[in-house]
Amino acid sequence: MQLSLSPEDQTFRTTAREWLAANVPRRRAPNDGRPARDFALAWLARCNAGGWSGISWPDEFGGRGLSQERLIVWYEEYVRARAPSVLDCTFVALNHAGPTLIACGSDEQKGFHLPRILAGESIWCQGFSEPGSGSDLASLATTGRVEGDHLVVNGQKIWTSFADIADYQELLIRTEAGSKRHHGLSWVICDMKSAGITVRPIENMAGAVHFAEVFYDNVRIPLSEVVGDLHDGWRVAMNTLAFERKTAAIGLQLELSVKVEDLIDLAAPPRGSAIAERLATLRAEAAALRAMTYRTLLREPETPSDGSLVRLCFAELAQRVNRTAMDILGADALLENAWTHDYLESYSETIAGGTAEIQRNIIAERVLGLPRVKTQ
Amino acid sequence: MTCDLNLSGEQRQIIDAAAAMLRTEYPVDRRRRWVADDLAAAAAFGMFGLGLPEGDGGAGFSLVEEALVHVLSGRHLVSSGSLATALGARLARAAGHAELADRLVAGEAFVCAGVPAGDSVLLMERGEAAFALVFDNRDFELREVGAALASEESALGHGASVERIPRVSKGVIARSAEPRMLAIADLLVSAQLLGVAEAVRDLAVAYAQVRQQFGQPIGGFQAIKHHCANMAIGAEMLSCQLDMAAIALRDGREDGAFQVAALRRLAPHVALANARLSIQVHGGVGFSAEAAVHHYLKQAHLLSRLGSAADILDLPAPLAPLVRVQERN
C-alpha cells in the first residue's frame, strides 16, 4: 500500500494550483435558470482553454486522460481553491453522456457531441426517471415506435435536472413493443428543441428550479440518434451509471472536507463545547470519506457494488454537515443565505440517483450476500 | 505506480499467516469460558516484534502490516495484553531497556493493559503478566506489577478479570508522552476496534442467512438488511481510514497525527454501533451469554478506554481550503 506522489505529480500539483488560483471565478454560482447555464458554460469553456476540461476522458477523445493519482491531485486542488461545484448543469454531459458516447457511441455521434461538451457549448440532461419509475427504473413506460428511419416518442419523464436549460437529453425509452423490465429499451440522444417536447419546471424545496417534468407528444427522433444497438439501452445505461459512481464522485466527496473546515471556521467553537464535539466528529468522518474515496480509486473492488458504500456514506455525511451548519448559525439560519440553501438542497442527497434505502439493499445483497428481494 | 491501496503480496502473506495462527490458537469459541489468554502463541508468531527493526529482534515489518495483524487480533478477541505487550516492547526499547524489550518480543514476559481509575489503576486480564502498560490521556507508562492484589473484580460481567492496584510511582520503568508513540498506540487500539466492528458485522450477516422466520431467512427482510448495510458502511469507513493513518504514520507524512486522530475518534463509535446492531439482528440469542456477540461489545468498551485521542480540532487539516470563505464572497 502506497500513497506517495512522484516529483512529476508534485509538479502537476503546482501547475494545477497556480492555474486554479488565477482562474477560479470569484462569485458563487447562480442557483438555477439561464444565469446558472451561462455561469457553468463560461467556467467549462475557461477550463477547456486551459486544458482542464474532460480531465478523465481519454486523450483521443479530446480529454486530458489523467491517471488516478493526478485525478486525485486535481480534485484536491480544485476543492481547496473553491472552484465551482462539479455537480452543476455540465455534470451530466461531462460525467454521463460524454463517457457513454465514448463507450458506446458511433463515430458520428462522438465526432459531433464530444468536442461541444468539452468546450462548454452544450448542456445535457438525463431522461431516465418517470412518474411510475423512480427506484424501479426498469419499469419505465415511455415508448419509442419505429416509423421508417425515425423513432416516434410518447410519454413522460420526471425529475429531469436542468431540462429547462439543456440542449440534449440522454433518453431511455421502451422501443420494443410489449417488452418487459430491462429488455427492449433504447438509449437515445434527444434534441431538446425537437417539436412535441414540453418542459414543465418544478421548484424544489430549496426554492431552486433544477428539475422538471418533460412530456413527449409524438416526438420524432432519427434512428441515427440511438446510442449502441436498438433495444440494447439497458446495457448502455448501466455503463453510464457505473461511471458516475466512480470518477465523478471524487470532486463531490472531497468538497465536503472543505465544507467542514468552513464550518469550523464559522463556529470557532470553544474546546469541549457540544458543537466542538460535533465538529470534531464531522472532521474525522470527512477524513474517512476521503480515505474511502481513494480506496475506491486505488484498490481493486471485491464486488462491483463496493462503490455503494462510499456513495451512501457521502450522502448521509453531507446531510449531517449541513444540518450542523443550521445549529451554528442560530437565528441566522432562519434567513436565506448560502448555508441554508445548501442545507435544504442536501435533502436530495439520499434520494437522487438511487435512494438510501435502495443503496442499503444493494449493499446488503451484492456486497454482503444477503438474499435478494424478488422483482417480478 | 506511486499510489496503490491494494494489499501487496507480502501483506497478504502475513495476513494469511496471522489468520491461520489465530484460528488455531485463539478460536473465538474459547471465549465461552473467559480466562485471560496465554499470549505465548502470539509471541511465537512474532506478534510483539512485528514492527520492530530486525536488528532489535523484531520482524522488520512496517506499521501498516502491524495494524493489519491487530485487526485480526481484534476479530479473535485476543486479550488486550496483545496490544499492551506490543506497545510495551516499543516503549522499553525506546527508553533503553533493551533486555526487557527482547524478553517481551520473545514471549518470556508479558504486559497487561492498565486503565487509570481515580487514584488506582485497573489491570485488565492480567493473567501471567508481570508488567502493565498504563494508558493515560496524554502519556503512558510501563510498570512492574507486584504479586499482591488490592482486589479482583469482573469486567462488565463477561469473565475477564480486572485487578485494582493503587496508582503509585514505585515500579515505573518507562514513561512516554512522545507524540509518535501515542499515535502508534492509537493506531493499534483502533485496529483492534476495527476487528471488533468487522467480526460483529460478519456474525450478523451469517446469522441472518440461516435464521428463518415467516418461512424465509431473516436476511431477506429489508429492516435486517439495512442494519447489516449500516454495519458494513461503518466497518468500511474505519478500514479505509486505518489504511490512511497507518500509511501516513509509516511514511512520516505531516498529516500523520491528523489521520490517526480521525481514526481514533471514529473507532469506538463504529465498534460500539456495530456491536449494538449485531446484537439486535441476533434477536433473543444476541441477548444471551451463549452467543459471542456480547463479548465483542464488552471488548469494544474496554478497548475504547485505551489510548489518548489527540483533539482533532487542534491539528491542521490536510484538505483545508486555500482561501477563507469570507475572503471570497
Residue A35: the pLDDT is: 95
For residues A197 and A209, what is the distance between their CA atoms, to the nearest angstrom?
18
Q: Which of B176, B202, B230 is the last residue of a domain?
A: B176
Going by pLDDT thresholds of 50, 70 and 90, the confidence category of residue A239 is confident
**What is the domain count for chain A?**
3
Whether B130 has a pLDDT exceeding 80, the answer reads yes
For residues A262 and B18, what is the distance between their CA atoms, to the nearest angstrom?
43
A346 in the same domain as A250: yes
B258 to chain A, any CB pair closer than 8 A? The answer is: yes
Q: Is residue A237 part of a domain?
A: no
Residue A246: the pLDDT is: 66
Residue A376: the pLDDT is: 43
CA distance, residue B4 to nearest chain A CA (Å): 5
B310 in the same domain as B216: yes
Question: Which cell goes with A65?
Answer: 486522460
A227 in the same domain as A313: no
Whether A233 has a pLDDT exceeding 90, the answer reads yes
CB-based contact B6 A1, cutoff 8 Å: yes
A69 in the same domain as A37: yes
Of A21, A280, A291, the CB nearest to B265: A280
Phi (first) and psi of residue B22, to 5 degrees: -65, -40
Give the strand pairing for A168-174 and A226-227: unpaired
User: Environment class of residue B15 by beta-carbon count within 10 Å: exposed (0-12), middle (13-18) or buried (19+)?
Assistant: middle
Residue A144 near residue A188, CB atoms below 8 Å:
yes
Of B219, B269, B319, the CB nearest to A79: B319
Chain B CB contacts of A274 below 8 Å:
none
Residue A326 near residue A340, CB atoms below 8 Å:
yes
Q: Which of B126, B161, B176 is the last residue of a domain?
A: B176
Residue A258 near residue A318, CB atoms below 8 Å:
no
A145 in the same domain as A38: no
Average pLDDT over residues A49-64: 93
**What is the domain count for chain B?**
2
B201 in the same domain as B146: no
B150 in the same domain as B22: yes
B142 in the same domain as B69: yes
A363 in the same domain as A255: yes
Chain B CB contacts of A80 below 8 Å:
319-322
B186 in the same domain as B172: no
B118 in the same domain as B32: yes
A360 in the same domain as A262: yes
CATH number at residue B287: 1.20.140.10
For residues B18 and B11, what is the distance between their CA atoms, to the nearest angstrom?
11
Can you give the residue range of the structural domain that contains A193? 124-232
Kindly provide the residue ranges of all beta strands, DSSP E only, lying in A203-280, ordered along the sequence: 211-222, 226-227
Q: Is residue B320 part of a domain?
A: no
Average pLDDT over residues A145-161: 97
Q: Is residue B329 part of a domain?
A: no
For residues A150 and A361, what is the distance between their CA atoms, to the nearest angstrom?
39
User: Residue B143's closest CA among B164, B118, B169?
Assistant: B169
Q: Is residue A339 part of a domain?
A: yes
Question: Which cell goes with B84?
Answer: 499492551
**Which is the catalytic residue, given A69, A76, A244, A349?**
A244
Q: Is residue A128 part of a domain?
A: yes
Whether A73 has a pLDDT exceeding 90, the answer reads yes
Can you give the residue range of the structural domain that contains B62? 9-176
Q: Is residue A79 part of a domain?
A: yes
Q: Is residue B193 part of a domain?
A: yes
User: Strand pairing partners for B264?
Assistant: none
What ipTM does this complex have? 0.95
CB atoms inside a 10 Å sphere around CB B178: 13
Q: Is A244 annotated in the active site?
A: yes
Q: State the average pLDDT for chain A.
A: 93
Q: Is residue B324 part of a domain?
A: no
Question: Which cell goes with B263?
Answer: 481514526
Q: State the average pLDDT for chain B.
A: 92
B151 in the same domain as B69: yes
CB-based contact A283 B262, cutoff 8 Å: yes
For residues B195 and B239, what is the distance between their CA atoms, to the nearest angstrom?
9
Number of H helices, E strands in chain A: 12, 9
Q: Is residue A110 part of a domain?
A: no
A286 in the same domain as A224: no
Whether A371 has a pLDDT exceeding 50, the answer reads yes
Element (H, E) at A250: helix A249-267
Q: Is residue A104 part of a domain?
A: no
User: Strand pairing partners for A215?
Assistant: A156, A198
A196 in the same domain as A128: yes
Residue B114: the pLDDT is: 94
Q: What is the pLDDT of residues B46-75, one digit of tens each?
A: 999 998 888 877 888 999 999 999 999 999
Question: Which cell goes with B52?
Answer: 520492530
Chain A CB contacts of B2 below 8 Å:
2, 4-6, 9, 69
Question: Which cell goes with B53?
Answer: 527493526
CA A178 to chain centre: 32
Residue A135: the pLDDT is: 81
Residue A367: the pLDDT is: 96
